[in-house]
Amino acid sequence: MTTLTRRIMMAFAEPTFRWLWLASAFSVMSMMANGLTGGWLVLELTDSAFWVGAVAAFRGIGQVGFGIFAGVMLDRLEKRRVLILVQLLTAFFLALLGVLVFTGRIQLWHLLAVSLLQGMLISVRAPAFNTVVYQQVGMKRILNANAAIGLGFNVAMVIGSSAAGTLIEKFGVAYGYFFAAGAGLLAALVMFIVRGQFRSVARAEPVLQAAWSGVRYALTQAPLRKLLTLSVIIEMFGFSYGTLLPVVARDVLGVGAAGLGLLSSVRGIGAMGSNLAIASLGDTARKSGLLVFSVAGSGLFLMLFGFSPWYVLSLVLIFILGAMLTAYDVTIKSLFLLIVNDEWRERIQSIY
């Protein structure tokens, strides 16, 4: 095995990490298929870009509104069981939407309600999973581990997006949801295989007091405050473009569900290359420099993508944009884990 290969595979030396990686890949496959299917369905139901964004906004409200309390809750619970429960509930909601579409009973309010619930589940899953990974690989391998997980994320993005787009085009929207539900169920089954107890040492505080103490800690630590401000800006103006991809695909680029699936898949391929590059660096990367470079690149290529009226050019631009945003995501996620001590990690992760 070459030195480069050993660097890329560093985190996989931990057996539990391999199962976590696989569970993450299935979870992302479910998430990407759900996002693409849901966006296309809202566009079919309403023919309105506003409602496509509104459904995504409800998911964001669920994440933000429940996020602070999610961190406090995770302080007190065993995280593997939480992750299993979250994946099972996610699969159930997606299957329910599939049945409603299949039977012709789907309405916009169903999508808004499920989107809100999904946001709440994401606010629990993300900090729980990130903390479990950190506990498994430690400080020295966390950048490599996040890049490896990101690589799995991107492979799953390509598979989930292309599969959902093809299923919608050939069989209908319901089958996109059924595929997403099946992938979510597989993520839960893999988490059953993971062994170990993943608990934190929680302080004996009332829930509201513990939630507020997490917010106060984040606001009084200058490095954390800067990272949180940056994450708000990038999440709001960077990653949010994915919500409107169905609108861009249909109304600007003139392609159908399969073309939308290809757009999303190419984004994943670009992100995959970015993750491979970061993983190959081991832990030698200068994280602050990488963060600045990726943020600047993301802004530039997002602007160019927004101006592009041609499908082929848009494929090239979204490939680069996917790489830039992924480099940002891997780096800032690692920095959040590294600069926060164990006592505050779940609460800060939930705020992030």
Mean pLDDT of 80-94: 92
Q: Answer whether 11's CB lies under 8 Å from 139's CB.
A: no
Exposure string for 46-85, b = 16+ CB within 10 A, e = fewer: eeebebbbbbbbbbbebbeebbbbbbbbbbebebbebbbb
- Residue whose entry in the numeric block shows the structure tokens 């779940």: 346
The CATH number that applies at residue 345 is: 1.20.1250.20
Using the structure block, give the residue that is written with the tokens 């996989």: 12
Q: What is the mean pLDDT of residues 51-62?
A: 88
Q: How far is CA 82 from CA 122, 131, 198, in A?
A: 12, 12, 10
Whether 244 is covered by a domain: the verdict is yes
Which H, E and C letters describe the chain, residue by residue?
Answer: CCHHHHHHCHHHHCHHHHHHHHHHHHHHHHHHHHHHHHHHHHHHHHCCHHHHHHHHHHHHHHHHHHHHHHHHHHHHCCHHHHHHHHHHHHHHHHHHHHHHHHCCCCCHHHHHHHHHHHHHHHHHHHHHHHHHHHHHHCHHHHHHHHHHHHHHHHHHHHHHHHHHHHHHHHCCHHHHHHHHHHHHHHHHHHHHHCCCCCCCCCCCCCHHHHHHHHHHHHHHCHHHHHHHHHHHHHHHHCHHHHHHHHHHHHHHCCCCHHHHHHHHHHHHHHHHHHHHHHHHCCCCCCHHHHHHHHHHHHHHHHHHHHHCCCHHHHHHHHHHHHHHHHHHHHHHHHHHHHHCCHHHHHHHHHHC
In a domain, 78, yes or no: yes
CA distance 333 to 150: 11
Tell me the pTM: 0.75
Answer with the residue of higher pLDDT: 138 or 227.
227
What percent of the chain is predicted at pLDDT more than 70? 78
CA distance 298 to 157: 19
In a domain, 307, yes or no: yes
**Residue 138 Ramachandran class (φ > 0 left, ψ -120 to 50 alpha, else beta):** left
Domain carrying residue 61: 11-197+206-351
Answer yes or no: is 149 within a domain.
Answer: yes
Report yes or no on 5 lying in a domain: no
Which residue from 86, 21, 20, 78 is spatially nearest to 197, judged by alpha carbons?
78
Give dist(CA 341, CA 343) in Å, integer: 6
Residue 99, pLDDT score: 97
Q: Is residue 87 part of a domain?
A: yes
The pair of three-digit structure tokens given for residue 113, joined into one six-digit string = 């309600």
φ/ψ (deg, to 5) at 283: -110, 25
* Lowest-pLDDT choice from 7-21, 193-207, 283-297: 193-207
Burial of 289 (0-12, 13-18, 19+ CB in 10 A): exposed
List pLDDT tens digits, range 95-113.
999 999 999 999 999 999 9
Q: What is the pLDDT of residue 227?
A: 76
Name the range with the highest mean pLDDT among 91-100, 157-166, 245-254, 332-341: 91-100
Whether residue 15 is contained in a domain is answered as yes
Count structural domains, the chain: 1
Low-confidence winner among 74-83, 142-151, 256-265, 311-320 (lowest mean pLDDT): 142-151
pLDDT in tens, 202-253: 555 555 555 566 666 666 666 777 777 777 788 777 777 887 888 888 888 9
Give a yes or no: residue 6 inside a domain: no
| Number of Cβ atoms within 10 Å of the Cβ of 208 | 11
